[in-house]
Chains A and B, each alone.
Chain A
Amino acid sequence: AQTVTQSQPEMSVQEAETVTLSCTYDTSESDYYLFWYKQPPSRQMILVIRQEAYKQQNATENRFSVNFQKAAKSFSLKISDSQLGDAAMYFCAYRTNFGNEKLTFGTGTRLTIIP
């Protein structure tokens, strides 16, 4: 079974600075998706960024980018120019491409932005 590990329960960053959230996963599959979801106080799950495992190029969405290391099974999220609205719980998630296409989530990292 796949597992996702987020080893940083809490992180904080000064506004306008850069922060990196860590995520590692374990799988024996070669074809899968990885995601970062943001959960603000409203509790809504908001997709931040996605990465297809077959793509070597790291995904980027505006101020958000990932460092995808397939061999190391690592998938970190970098947030540049942090803004107050980035404060939230961030979940890393794995989705298989076979059978039950469930998302396997990490336990989350709570990000605080310091003004």
Chain B
Amino acid sequence: EAQVTQNPRYLITVTGKKLTVTCSQNMNHEYMSWYRQDPGLGLRQIYYSMNVEVTDKGDVPEGYKVSRKEKRNFPLILESPSPNQTSLYFCASSPWTSGGDPNTGELFFGEGSRLTVL
């Protein structure tokens, strides 16, 4: 089954304790991205990657790191979490890149990871 898998789905942690949210897709997609969802703000992009070893900042990158060593994986790292990073996080992937094979333009989302930082 084609899917984007995130782990953990739920996590409660404390300020300053490093954590990693994993994301893996089995669709051989080039493009992957992380979003956070907050009430009244919709979803906002944190980081994105257009291919292996190519990553860049989105709209709200402060306090986060990412890496893309393999095509299928795109972990989100919080080196020193703070309470303002309490949020719902989504990983997403797409087979479509600029100038490439046009398809639907659709992003495929993981099921979300609810993170609480105390």
Contact = CB atoms under 8 A, between A and B. Distances in A.
A50 B56 contact: no
Interface stretch (A65-73, A78-86, A101-109): A101-109
Interface of B: 31, 33, 35, 40-45, 48, 50, 56, 58-59, 88, 90, 92, 94, 96-98, 104-107, 109, 111-112, 114
Consensus secondary structure, chain B interface:
strand
Contacts, number: 59
B70 to A, nearest CB: 20
A12 interface: no
A33 B50 CA distance: 18
Chain A interface residue number, banded:
20 to 34
A28 interface: no
Contacts of A102: 33, 45, 48, 58-59
Contacts of B98: 97-99, 101
